Amino acid sequence: MLSWASRSSKACAVLARPALRYTVTVEGKMIGNLVQIVLMVVSIMLPAVAPASAPRQDHTKPTILRFVKNPDLAPPFTIKDLNGNPLSLSDAKGKVVLLNFWATWCGPCRAEIPDLIELQKEYKDQLEIIGLATQEDDAEEVRKFVAESGINYRVAMAPDEVTEKFGGIAALPTSFVIDPQGRVVQKHVGLNDPSLYELEVRSLLGEPVNATVEYFEDTGQVFLVNADRATELPGVDMSKLSPEQKKAALRRFNSERCTCGCGMTLAQCRINDSDCGVSKALTEKIVSEIRNGNTKAMPSPVKTEAGGSKI
């Protein structure tokens, strides 16, 4: 199943769930290619998919910045940028990094690029924006687009292993905010108010901001591997379970895999794609079994790599 994180037409669906590609059979490849072409055309042609500009915050209300409490280090990687030069997160240590997964065919991605260009220009010595074009894109098209749009930050093609390290990219644009210590403190999906990015950058640099900073525990919102920390899951009603029954249900959600083809645990799938009917049905079945006394012992959840799970 595809994860359609539409966010009111502020994001484009990526044509693969994390760690899942249309490469199982020749027939699967043909279907995958056809779907990819159709979605690219829709993303480019429909004005509803690509707003003229990023949504602006209501500045009459106090701004709240939310960062991860006790954040995880960003998964390391070294790749080549479009000019063939080595590109590594470690090169930007000491700076705030905005790691932006995007594609040329994604309307919301194109809409936010002018604001990213201005942000990089304003904080050129303290901020490193890195644009990672997904493998659904064509390298030559990306190179041409970068030249025509005047992008002033480094751009590279994102290998599958990099997107997997970051939990899989279910929708575009997806941006990870990394603090000067190399820790991932926030993840944004879809087109955002550029002033939010600037406030986050200033706050992480220790500069004064007219905003309140709050901290939250990452229970899968940033890295899906942290789904085993969650005590509630989207669309899963555990209100009629006792505390012990709820613990048993959560153990099973983090031990049993969804059968929709995503390769994730049930908990990860519910967080990644709350519209997945398969994981919803399976979690409802587990809740019903446990409520009726069928509490079979399950193995402890197994941690996958920092960004998510593989098939």
Nearest to 246 by CA among 236, 255, 256: 236
* Whether 66 contacts 222, CB under 8 Å: no
Mark whether 106 is an active-site residue: yes
Query: Rounded CA gap, 58 and 81, in Å?
Result: 37
DSSP string covering 189-243? ES---HHHHHHHHHHHTT---SSEEEEE--SSSS-GGGGGG-S--TT---TTS-H
Q: Which residue in the list 106, 258, 262, 276 is annotated as catalytic?
A: 106
Nearest to 168 by CA among 80, 101, 99: 101
Q: Which residue in the list 109, 258, 260, 276 is annotated as catalytic?
A: 109
Mark whether 262 is an active-site residue: no
β-pairing verdict for 127-133 and 96-102: parallel
Q: Which tokens go with 14?
A: 């990526």
- Report the sign of the C-alpha dihedral through residues 153, 157, 162, 163, in that order: positive
Nearest to 113 by CA among 125, 97, 124, 100: 100
List, by residue number, the catalytic residues: 106, 109
